Structure 1
Amino acid sequence: MPFLCTLLGLLLPLYAFAQSYFPVPPVADASRFATRLPRTASMLTGATSAQSQEVRVLVYGQSISMQDWWKQVKHFLEQRYPQANLVMVNKAIGGFSSDRLKLMVDNDVVAFYPDLILFHDYGNEDDYEQIIRTIRSRTTAEIAIQTDHVAVGQNETWHDRHCNVWLPALCDKYQLALIDIRTAWKAYLAQNKLSASTLLTDNVHLNDHGNYLMAEIIKRYFETLPTGPVSLAGVHVLKAGKDFTVRKDRLRLPVTGNRVDLVWSPSTSSASVLVDGQKPLATLGCYYHTRPSRKPDGFFLTHIGQPLTVQLAGQPQAEDWTLTITAVDSVRQEVGFRVSGSKTGHDGEGSSDKPFTSRSGRIVIEPYYWFRRKNPGDFRQFSWLKPGDTLRWQVASMCRDTISPADGRTVTVLQGVANGEHVLELSGRALSGLHEIRVYQPPLRD
């Protein structure tokens, strides 16, 4: 009997994984998808063993985006485009509708600087559009918007209008790709005589069948990507000898954008970098921070009363930061705290109900950055922080002052600076091997 129980325990998950669902037909109308991802299509379909390049895909949104469908899509892309070096990560945050996610998007997205974002979120439309504007002004990422699947107990009239009218208009306004999940979901339910709840674990979250359907619909859209000419939309490629010339191991070049990559033949020599007359590591925009967390090795969101984000200011430096809770008032939803940096040292005390700027000026925490309940039932699975609890984050740079022989063939020397005009200065013997400069210019200005 114990043997049979063990055997069943092994076989049932395999059966659940192997069981078949109804097929999903090809997309009837992909006009808002295939033509609006030219760089992604070029990078995926044009990759070869001799010319493989990294394709960075970010899955972003809230709990629906955290579910297992994205892993199925990742596997599909890896199988369909085996020559592409796919780097696909998920930074979605459960329960973070657009009013909360807008606080996170700048730091989350700019640090990863994806080529493509698969995005879905709930919440008010003004904040939703602000998220899109932030991405379009801070990165050159192409964005594929997923409409809402069919849930139970939602305002169907609002979601139909949001998905059939507002989101397509938003995609047209910002030239975003559209993945019409909702229309395909309704068709699947109708054709197979299923109720919406058949694909859900509760009123909204997906079960295995729902994850299958979400993944299959998205796969059908990727199957429409055309194989065509090389497209570097948003990226200006400058060639040595044609667009720039290195003289006496020096190059001074005006660039417009917020990221610069160098493509070169690594040598035993090095080179130094200046932007607008100063070292990049002295530039505020070059820095980002990890999410403040009690568990640096796990998901960051664990308690009510923690800061969701911070703002870097003054003159940042690469270091580790610690915020220690000194007092908690769960009724007023306020905490007292102190902060310290591994290099800066003790840097001040504050309260979550007031704007805080650390003594060094390096850390700013606004009152609306703190994680509070919007109503008594909001995130009821989380308890409040306690005095003595600590949260930690790291500040790191996305830029380089120098290029060394160990840096590889493609090196990002600037990232995160203001999206505008800059003067790039390079000097050093390593420039003899510089072949190409790629300048990334987001379509919207900061």
Structure 2
Amino acid sequence: MPFLRALLIFLLPLYAFAQPYFPVPPVADADRFMTRLPRTAYRLTNATSAQPLEVRVLVYGQSISMQEWWQQVKRFLEKRYPEARLIMVNKAIGGFSSERLKLMVDNDVVSFYPDLILFHDYGNEEDYEVIIRTIRSRTTAEVAVQTDHIAVGQNEAWHDRHCAVWLPALCNKYQLALIDIRKAWKAYLAKNGLSASSLLKDNVHLNAHGNYLMAEIIARYFETLTTGPASTDDGRVLTTGKDFVVRKDRLRLPLTGNRVDLVWNSSTGSASVLVDGQKPSATLGCYYHTRPSRKPDGFFLTHIGQALTVRLAGQPQAEDWTLTITAVDSVRQEVGFRVSGSKTGHDGEGSSDTQFTSRSGRIVIEPQYWFRRKNPGDFRQFAWLKPGDTLRWQVVSMCRDTVSAADEQTTTIVQGVANGGHVVELSGRALSGLRAVSVYQPPLRE
């Protein structure tokens, strides 16, 4: 028997396109999974060809979240829920444990505004909670937290406590779903006589077998979803004639939240939008930025010395920005730079060791935003930037000053503003076809 088991383990990779690995049984601890994901469950299980409900899923974290398993999960969801309009993207960043990822989360998550986030990250627990608080105060996204798989050479006692005690407590505190990867991983290894290293290509990253197991465990959790009532705990839907009345092509609505969608019947014409008495284009919260990058069409993180993110401030506007490196001191881990906007023009010079605020006040770069090595061996594959290198990003609006219902069933007019009370005013002929207003209210106040 030991010989046969060893032979089977050896031959498994050769049958990757048949029945590749050992089966993963249904999870036995998923009681709260659906109850913590009511909106996602409803939209996946109730979508039909006549009403193909959209489900936006964000995969977020660091290098483990970037691996092939997420594509396998995507294919599983598309096959299991073929009528849902699944939009699934991955914004994970390799090497970004919680102390770095917390710098990115607000801009990354608000710009996509997902229904569900599949989240896994390493790092200290204080910053991990900062990430969760940001998600819960800036979006209505439901969150499914993945515990750590079994790696080699880690502090197993710490990871066991983190996954069995701290993460479940965090999920209870913020009403998050838990995907207990670690428990299922241990059971799979024990049942099939495998070592931790047999599912890894190094001490932590997954090989093909590990990606299979990660995807299958997550799939087992999604298989527990059943048809349930629609969730309204993220906000509310206001309907014409019941919750508001349009008079003389005008509507004034006091609302609480940070995103507003208009749902249309057939309509013609347009309508103008005001938020708290001003055009959304004048509202700072309506804007996000793409990640600063040397290659905007590729992966953004390529060099030590990059600005990982920026903070938008002042009077916003949609435009393209360029940061040019003027000096590099790799020993002190500092760079000098200048910035310019496609509309703003030259907007100042600065150094990475102090806070930079551009002349217009539109761009702020804090010292902690710069990508540095914590230890000499960190990110050895990355060289330092050189004088003359450029980073580029775009500032993009998430709101609209005017809307037309001619080609859309649902239009987002406000997104990313402060999560609180606002007054939205609409005026124009298009309001004759307004069916409803959806208001998104994140569960935590900022």
TM-score range, shorter chain: over 0.9
Structure 2 counterpart of 1:103, which letter?
A: L
| Contact 2:269–2:406 under 8 Å retained in 1 | no
CA distance in 1, matches of 2:326, 2:291: 20
Q: Secondary structure at the match of 1:65?
A: helix
- Cα displacement string for residues 16-51 of structure 1 (whole angstroms, at most 9, x for unaligned residues): 444510000001110231210000000100111111
What letter is aligned with 2:164?
N
The offset of 1:79, in angstroms, is 0.6
Change (3 A) 1:406 1:396: farther
After TM superposition, give the deviation of residue 15 of structure 1 in Å: 5.2
Secondary structure of the structure 2 residue equivalent to 1:325? strand
1:148 matched to which residue of 2? 148
TM-score by length of 2: 0.96
Would the aligned equivalents of 1:46 and 1:230 in 2 still touch at CA under 8 Å? no
Structure 2 matches for 1:206-355, cutoff 5 A? Answer: 206-355=206-355
Structure 1 partner of 2:79? 79
2: CA distance, partners of 1:183 / 1:80: 25
Output the TM-score relative to the length of structure 1: 0.96
Deviation digits for residues 257-283 of structure 1 (CA, Å, limit 9, x no counterpart) = 000000012433000000100001100
Q: Is the Cα contact below 8 Å between 1:266 and 1:408 reproduced in 2?
A: no
2:329 & 2:70 partners in 1: Cα distance?
A: 39
Q: CA deviation at 1:235?
A: 2.6
1:20 paired residue number: 20
**Equivalent residue runs for 1:110-189 within 5 Å:** 110-189=110-189
Could you tell me which residue of structure 1 aligns to residue 444 of structure 2? 444
One-letter amino acid of the structure 1 residue matched with residue 198 of structure 2: T
Supply the AA of the counterpart residue of 1:400.
Answer: R
Write out per-residue CA displacement over residues 290-339 of structure 1, whole angstroms, 9 at most, x where no aligned residue: 00000100000000000000000001100000000000000000000000
Structure 2 CA distance, aligned partners of 1:213 and 1:32?
22
User: What secondary structure sits across from 1:349 in the alignment?
Assistant: strand
Aligned residues: 435
Structure 1 segments unaligned to the other structure (5+ residues): 1-12
User: Could you tell me which residue of structure 2 aligns to residue 380 of structure 1?
Assistant: 380
Cα RMSD (Å) of the superposition? 1.2
**Secondary structure, in 3 states, of the residue corresponding to 1:36?**
coil
Contact 2:37–2:142 under 8 Å retained in 1 = yes
Residue in 1 that maps onto 2:398: 398
Deviates more, 1:48-57 or 1:211-220: 48-57
Q: Write out per-residue CA displacement over residues 46-72 of structure 1, whole angstroms, 9 at most, x where no aligned residue.
A: 111111121100000000000000000
For 2:66 and 2:233, locate their aligned partners in 1 and report how far apart those are by CA, in whole Å. 29
The code of the aligned residue for 2:77 comes to L
**Matches of 1:193 and 1:341, distance apart in 2:** 59
Q: Secondary structure at the match of 1:42?
A: helix
Distance 2:166 2:71 in 1: 28
Q: Residue in 1 aligned with 2:63?
A: 63
> C-alpha distance in 2, partners of 1:82/1:14?
31
Matches for 1:425-440 after TM superposition, within 5 Å: 425-440=425-440
Query: Matches of 1:211 and 1:381 in 2, distance apart?
Result: 24
* Displacement of 1:229: 1.6
Deviates more, 1:23-32 or 1:379-388: 23-32
Quick check: 1:266–1:430 contact (8 Å CA) kept in 2?
A: no
Runs of 4+ in 1 over 4 A off after TM superposition: none
1:121-170 residue CA offsets vs partner (Å, 9 max, x unmatched)? 00000000000000000000000000000000000000000000000000
SS at match of 2:361: coil
Q: What's the counterpart of residue 4 of structure 2?
A: none
Percent pairwise identity: 84
Amino acid of the residue matched to residue 191 of structure 1? K
Distance 1:110 1:81 in 2: 26
Equivalent residue for 2:6?
A: none
Aligned to 2:42: 42
> CA, structure 1 residues 18+328, in 2 after alignment: closer, same or farther (shift >3 Å)?
farther
User: Match of 1:103, SS?
Assistant: coil
Asked whether the 8 Å contact 2:264–2:405 carries over to 1, the reply is no
CA distance in structure 2 between the aligned counterparts of 1:375 and 1:216, rounded to whole angstroms = 36
Is the contact made by 1:234 and 1:440 (CA closer than 8 Å) also made in structure 2? Answer: yes
CA distance in 2, matches of 1:89, 1:344: 32
Cα distance between partner residues in 1 of 2:116 and 2:100: 22
